[in-house]
Structure 1
Amino acid sequence: MIVGLISRVLLGEGLLVNGELIIVVKVDVLEVEGEVVVSEESSPVMETIDVNGFQVLPSQVDSANRLFARHQDIASKFRPKNPFLKTAYMNDLLSLTKAMCQSPQKISKDDLAEQYGALAYLTEAGFKVGWLEKKLNEVKEKKNKEEACLAQLQEMEEQLQPLKQRCLDLEAQIDKANVELLVARSPLSLYNDDAV
């Protein structure tokens, strides 16, 4: 009971993420020795844009806007207030939606398991993603159907191989019989050197 209470408190504070404790450490610098040279080329600043309280990359703005337009209440129960955690959760959500748009052929069983894990992680944080779970179930069904069709095709091809070979054998026998028929139908010559 105490562990459950502690877990709920840590989760509410945004310190417990996917069953792991996040520890934030604040370091005060007392003295700096030496010099750190950082070139502007080696540390580019990533520009982010605010979309409904979440910082996203410019390349993610359209996806995030579409997500919030279709599912206005998706983050209504979202608990973490830490901006870095919010960004991480949004990145996971956008990655999950992007991954689910792939062809079932490109998604492995392990990918599906990871996507279900990510979905649970997002749900635990307070995202309303029931619609996404339905879509993930559809992807899983399509993947299962794909695998069943592949197995059926493989089985039919294995059954067809001996039949193809039998057809080739019959065609060879037909060709041989046609040659023998031509020989049987050919007229005899009386002036052949082999004749007596």
Structure 2
Amino acid sequence: MVKNTESSESSDDEQSYSSSSEEWSKSSDDADEIVEVNGFQVLDSKVNQVMTIFEKHPDMASDFSLKNQQLRNAYMGVLLNLVMTLCQNPKELTMDDVNKADRTVLDLTKAGFKLHWLRQKLDEAFQKKEKKREIRVRIRLLDEKVKKRKLSLSDLESDLKKQKDAALATEASFDFCDIV
């Protein structure tokens, strides 16, 4: 169910969720529309994201029973922020982000959201981060081995050069002046 309401028509107590970097605001002069999607009020700019979530996971909020509209909207905002966090470039996503996301999924699940699909993606993100960490450790160890072997090889090459020089010295014939 999608319902549009102009934010300029809203009362001062009606609040709208804007984005992860902004907070809930009571401003009635915002230009963005408030749209209701399945009982959650979201900014027009977030409607497609929320509708996509409900299309792919229609029962996601079936056990979510909060009646307070501000809290409902806040929880939806947290869910959207969580999804956007997991959409970050893997290089930018830190293990701290993954751990915070894990706690957030737990909180949202306790509130009544069915987020098995998000838990699965979070587990994948965790596994990727862990595998990346393991690979970095292995690369560091291999790099150290290569450096040690290069030093060892350099030492061997130096010894080889000395032995060749010594061999050449023993093969050199005497010169007339050396003998006389």
- Range class of TM-score, shorter chain: 0.5 to 0.7
Counterpart of 1:154? Answer: 140
Counterpart of 1:11? Answer: none
Matches within 5 A, 1:8-27: none
Displacement after TM superposition at 1:179 (Å): 8.2
Q: How large is the RMSD of aligned CA atoms in angstroms?
A: 3.2
Select 1:54's aligned residue among 24, 40, 51.
Answer: 40
TM-score, length-scaled by structure 1: 0.62
- 1:100 counterpart letter in structure 2: L
Displacement after TM superposition at 1:116 (Å): 1.4
1:43–1:154 CA distance, 2 compared to 1 (3 A): farther
Where in structure 2 are there 5+ consecutive unaligned residues?
1-12, 14-26
1:77–1:43 CA distance, 2 compared to 1 (3 A): closer
Tell me how far apart the structure 2 counterparts of residues 183 and 60 of structure 1 sit (CA, whole Å): 83
What are the superposed Cα offsets for residues 54-111 of structure 1, whole Å, 9 maximum, x if unpaired? 1222332221121111001111111112221111111111111121223443232322
Counterpart of 1:94? Answer: 80
Where in structure 1 are there 5+ consecutive unaligned residues?
1-25, 27-41, 191-195
- 2:120 counterpart letter in structure 1: K
Counterpart of 1:13? Answer: none
Counterpart of 2:66? Answer: 80
Matches within 5 A, 1:33-182: 44-45=29-30, 47=32, 48-171=34-157
Tell me how far apart the structure 2 counterparts of residues 180 and 49 of structure 1 sit (CA, whole Å): 89
1:178–1:107 CA distance, 2 compared to 1 (3 A): same
Of the two structures, which has the highest relative contact order with CA contacts closer than 8 Å and spacing of 6 or more?
1
Larger Rg belongs to: 1
Q: Is the 8 A contact 1:105 1:146 kept in 2?
A: no
Match of 2:87, SS state, is: coil
TM-score, length-scaled by structure 2: 0.67
Q: Is the 8 A contact 1:74 1:129 kept in 2?
A: yes
Match of 1:74, SS state, is: coil
- 2:103 counterpart letter in structure 1: G
- 1:65 counterpart letter in structure 2: M
Q: Is the 8 A contact 1:49 1:57 kept in 2?
A: yes
Tell me how far apart the structure 1 counterparts of residues 170 and 46 of structure 2 sit (CA, whole Å): 80
Match of 1:105, SS state, is: coil
1:149–1:84 CA distance, 2 compared to 1 (3 A): same
